[in-house]
Amino acid sequence: MRRWNGWGDESTSMELPQSAGQFLQTLIGKGDCLADAGLQQVIDKVPPSRLVEHKLISLDKEQRVRHARGQSLPDWLAMRSGDIHAFPDGVCFPKNRQEVKEILAYACEHDVELIPYGGGTSVAGHINPKVSERPVLTVDMGHMNQLLDLDPDSNIATFGAGTPGPMVEAQLRAKGYTLGHFPQSFELSTIGGWVASRSSGQQSLRYGRIEQMFAGGNLETFDGSMDVPTFPASSAGPDLRELLLGSEGRFGILTEIKVRVSKLPEREEFSVFFFPSWEQAAGFCKQVVQNRIPLSMLRVSNAVETQTQLKLAGHENGIKWLERYLALRGCKDSKCMLTLGITGSKLQLTSAQKQLKKQLGTFSGVSTGKLLGKKWQQNRFRFPYLREALWQQGYVVDTLETATDWGNVDALMLRIETALSQALTGQDEKIHVFTHLSHVYGQGCSLYTTYIYRNGQDYEQTLERWQQLKHSASEVIVNNGGTISHQHGVGKDHAPYLMQEKGELGMNVLAKLCEHFDPKKQLNPGTLLDD
């Protein structure tokens, strides 16, 4: 059973070793737990629906609670406190394109706002209804979850937009294929959501981001169907796929997604290396990717994240022996951990390993074999469960991400971490901040920053602290050469910062597109554009 007020399945958890709690107490102080609201308490707050009844629409109050929020930190606090403010007036579960068309016609007739809903994993406020004078209907695409077609000549697969990550891979693997898109939210997020938010997976070095995979599909709009055909390439004007990518439900509802898939690889290996310093680890990443060594993943943690991961891992005796070995090899207090993936044929793996060996020597990298890599692979989608574990000890954890060119990486990372660490000094609160490079490109890389802070005296103060932290870091990002989002999309949380990235003319273009597809602002208003 999926948690109504947190991440993932109720039967799955991530336990923290006792040493982890002691580690955080030493760094930022003892956390205090806040009381959680019960599901029935929240259901009792749901107001009567304002929707005109329709055969496809459920007015069930529990469904309305479960579709009221995503997975951002404000969403988490709203669900835990039970103070959700706004609920959808109903939820519908279309099974095909025709039923989506019916819902769009219904919305036109009755002046209803529509919010497309995939896996509910948004961390930027994409799916949250705002307080509105009009009724709000959430369109859950979860029943449109099948592989509809596979073209083996062109390696093009067509999926229903509500297909979650595990079902995408299971249905493709049964036929000998993979999409290879593995975001952190893979367990719950959907292929339509990946397109709508311009998602990036952990192995994008091999398979590409979703914009490289996305070949075409269907968007149902108030004015009819927009079918984007698949071409290997085209110079026939602007690419209409870009209207769907990152559209976040503002132009219509995605129903079918066509993607470029690959044959299953013969082999896949993940390994962990350590470097004496951040400069050497980041330099290794840049050189490897610019030399086009065929890897599937590179992820490097700065020194603070490396230390934190080792502390949270438990297995204290094993970690002590590892640290002794690394110290003998020159990796001491400033050491940085790098996780590396190689995917492909036996020949490709052998070739990549030979090329890597020389680069590792140049940057003093130390191999720890494949054990830690296998551990990472086993737990790669469990990080979101860490929020639950820390919450139970009185701490809040959140993340933010950006991307920038190589020449700006170190300066931007320092500014982001400094802004976060100093945001609550007026309250005499310490923040534990650390960063890793999650996706690496020849031009630059993404910066993925995690921060942990103590709960406030109540939910209101805890949210106010997050607002200060988020705003401080977001201002630094957009004013210092970073994008407001590399992989999480814009939603409602990032919309206020988009102007600084797109400029006035660019924002006018986006506004005109929204006006063209949705003149009455019924499609996910407040998302993408701060309207």
pLDDT tens readout for residues 272-310: 999 999 999 999 999 999 999 999 999 999 999 999 999
At 38, phi and psi to the nearest 5?
-90, 155
Closest CA to 47 of 73, 84, 92: 84
With beta carbons less than 8 A apart as the criterion, state whether 465 and 455 touch.
no
Q: How far apart are CA 26 and CA 452, in angstroms?
A: 13
With beta carbons less than 8 A apart as the criterion, state whether 128 and 492 touch.
yes
pLDDT tens-place string over residues 6-55: 999 999 988 888 888 889 999 999 999 999 999 999 999 999 999 999 99
H or E element at residue 220: strand 214-221
β-strand 297-301 against 336-344: which pairing, if any?
antiparallel
Structure-block tokens of residue 280: 């050497």
Q: Which residues of 329-365 are buried (b: 16+ CB within 10 A; e: fewer)?
A: eebeebbbbbbbbbbbeeebbeebeebbeebbeebbb
Q: At what angle do helices 409-422 and 278-290 cross, to 10 degrees?
A: 140
- How does DSSP classify residue 384? G
> If you search the block for the tokens 């949250």, which residue do you land on?
128
Could you give the C-alpha distances from 381 to 193, 265, 290, 384, 485, in angstroms and in order?
17, 21, 28, 7, 20
In 261-372, beta strands by DSSP E: 262-263, 267-275, 297-301, 336-344, 366-367
Q: How far apart are CA 488 and CA 133, in angstroms?
A: 29
How many other β-carbons are positioned within 10 Å of the β-carbon of residue 479?
Answer: 11
β-strand 297-301 against 432-437: which pairing, if any?
antiparallel
Structure-block tokens of residue 57: 């629409």
Q: Assign residue 501 a region: left if phi > 0, alpha if psi is -120 to 50, beta otherwise?
A: alpha
Q: At what angle do helices 459-479 and 498-517 cross, to 10 degrees?
A: 100
Q: How far apart are CA 140 and CA 121, in angstroms?
A: 13
Q: Rg for the chain (alpha carbons), in Å?
A: 23
Structure-block tokens of residue 178: 């993979």
How many other β-carbons are positioned within 10 Å of the β-carbon of residue 282?
Answer: 23
Q: In 3-state terms, what secondary structure has residue 206?
A: helix
Report CA torsion sign: 181, 186, 192, 197: negative
Residue 255 makes CB contacts below 8 A (sequence gap 6+) with 96, 97, 100, 141, 144, 160, 161, 192, 217, 218, 219, 220
Q: For residue 373, give the amino acid letter.
A: G
pLDDT tens-place string over residues 42-65: 999 999 999 999 999 999 999 999
The tens-digit pLDDT sequence of the chain (531 residues) is 899 999 999 999 888 888 888 899 999 999 999 999 999 999 999 999 999 999 999 999 999 999 999 999 999 999 999 999 999 999 999 999 999 999 999 999 999 999 999 999 999 999 999 999 999 999 999 999 999 999 999 999 999 999 999 999 999 999 999 999 999 999 999 999 999 999 999 999 999 999 999 999 999 999 999 999 999 999 999 999 999 999 999 999 999 999 999 999 999 999 999 999 999 999 999 999 999 999 999 999 999 999 999 988 777 888 889 999 999 999 999 999 999 999 999 999 999 999 999 899 999 999 998 889 999 999 899 889 999 999 999 999 999 999 999 999 999 999 999 999 999 999 999 999 999 999 999 999 999 999 999 999 999 999 999 999 999 999 999 999 999 999 999 999 999 999 999 999 999 999 999 999 999 999 999 999 988
Closest CA to 308 of 24, 15, 25, 26: 24
